[in-house]
Amino acid sequence: MSTGFVSLRGVNKYFNEVHAVANLDLDVKAGEFFSMLGPSGSGKTTVLRLIAGFENASSGRVVIESQDVTDLAPFDRPVNTVFQDYALFPHMSIQDNVEYGLRTRKVPKAERAKQALEAIDSVKLSHLSQRLPHQLSGGQRQRIALARALVLRPKVLLLDEPLGALDKQLREEMQVELKRIQREAGITFIFVTHDQEEAMRMSDRIAVFNEGSIEQIGTPQEVYEKPQTKFVASFLGVSNIFDGAAAKEIFGSSTMVNIRPERIKLVPADTKLNTGESGVVGTIIEASYIGATTIYLIQTQSGQRVIATRLNEELPDQINRYETGDRVGAVWKSDHSAVIPT
């Protein structure tokens, strides 16, 4: 029945009265970088903990590599976890931390030292192997947490917002690094994040979580360009959603439609639409120059607001910029708008 390398079937999780995970089905393919994206409290971390075995499902099955692990303890599952707070053992040296999993597997002392040092070397921290965790910076601890999990060559690596505590620059470095490690080791990564840009940048596929359910699973391009729900459309990037009367006025049907701000062009208000174009006329109520782009907030006569983002390809005084109060046409190619089924 299941085809995934990691599969969840009909999984529910209740914390007392709270329905944290609601009847969830999920298939992660072998070797893919799979992200679980959603706001806090959406159930994504709980799903990760169900796969790791830290939580027991209230109902449903968890299958890893065709083995039903639903009732197995964490130490009997072929997965390893990188924790949000890294969870390095404070009383052990870096090397002892990385050796820990080999020690529980009864790898001989000399062999586990060799493997641990290799793993520490692969994250470029050999010179710190005898330090204690509290003597390392956040970024260094993050790398050690990664080395400690990877030294066991798990089939699946679970990552719980591992980059959340790092500053922006370090986070971007680690995103590239993680992606490289995942590609080279060929390990399945299941990555929890609330940062949509991070998920888009790294993932092969993304599951968008909301209130304990998955709203949509797809490649970054699919979830961005063809959001299946209003929540997905608004959670990933900025969206202009038309429904009801506004949709009827523009598209001739009241189906919900989304158009991304960067696809909208601004033209003088009296410009005629070409075939294959849609648009609205409105007044600019705010124009914000933010460096690479300028963001325009436009309000139509009926009160609908539209956001348009224009790339500043030329110097500000060399392009035809619009100002607050200008009446403009906001125009896009009809096939750039995406119908949202629900």
Partner 1 sequence: MLRLSATTRAILIGLVAFILIFMYVPLLVLILNSFNLSNISSWPIETFSLKWWEFAITYQPIRTALLNSLIVATGSMIIAAFLGTLVAFALKGYDFFGKATVNLLVVLPIALPGVVTGVAFSNTYSNFLSPAGFNIGYFGMIVAHATFCIVMVFNNVFARLKRMNPSLQEASADLGAGLWQTFRLVTFPQFRTSFVAGALLAFALSFDEVVVTIFTAPPGVDTLPLWILKEMSRPNQASVVNVVATVVILISLIPVYISQRLSRAQDEVR
Neighbours of 285 (CB within 10 A): 12
Q: Is the CB of 72 or the CB of 267 nearer to partner 1?
A: 72
- Only segment of 71-79, 113-121, 163-171, 307-315 that touches partner 1 (CB under 8 A): 71-79
Beta-bridged to residue 8, according to DSSP, are 26, 62
Q: In whole angstroms, how close is the CB of 187 to partner 1 at the nearest point? A: 15
Q: Is 58 left (phi over 0), alpha (psi -120 to 50) or beta?
A: alpha
Q: In whole angstroms, how close is the CB of 158 to partner 1 at the nearest point? A: 8
Q: In whole angstroms, how close is the CB of 49 to partner 1 at the nearest point? A: 8
CA-based nearest residue to 98, from 78, 74, 117: 117
Q: In whole angstroms, how close is the CB of 41 to partner 1 at the nearest point? A: 19
Q: What's the CA gap between 315 and 336, in Å, rounded?
A: 27
Per-residue contact string for residues 10-49; x = within reach of partner 1 by CB under 8 A: ----------------------------------------
Residue found under tokens 């590609």: 183
Sole binder of partner 1 in the list 52, 166, 174, 266 (CB under 8 A): 52
Sole binder of partner 1 in the list 25, 31, 65, 83 (CB under 8 A): 83
Q: Is the CB of 100 or the CB of 231 nearer to partner 1?
A: 100
**Which amino acid is located at 156 in the chain?**
V
Sole binder of partner 1 in the list 66, 75, 276, 323 (CB under 8 A): 75
Q: Is the CB of 143 or the CB of 205 nearer to partner 1?
A: 143
Q: Is the CB of 155 or the CB of 201 nearer to partner 1?
A: 155
Q: In whole angstroms, how close is the CB of 104 to partner 1 at the nearest point? A: 4
Residue found under tokens 């009296």: 270
- Only segment of 69-77, 135-143, 166-174, 278-286 that touches partner 1 (CB under 8 A): 69-77
Q: In whole angstroms, how close is the CB of 37 to partner 1 at the nearest point? A: 22
Within residues 85-114, the interface with partner 1 by CB under 8 A covers: 85, 87-91, 100-101, 103-105
Per-residue contact string for residues 124-163; x = within reach of partner 1 by CB under 8 A: ----------x-------------xx--x-----------
- Only segment of 7-15, 39-47, 78-86, 205-213 that touches partner 1 (CB under 8 A): 78-86
Q: Is the CB of 41 or the CB of 78 nearer to partner 1?
A: 78
Using CB under 8 A, list all residues that contact partner 1: 52-54, 73-75, 79-81, 83-85, 87-91, 100-101, 103-105, 134, 148-149, 152
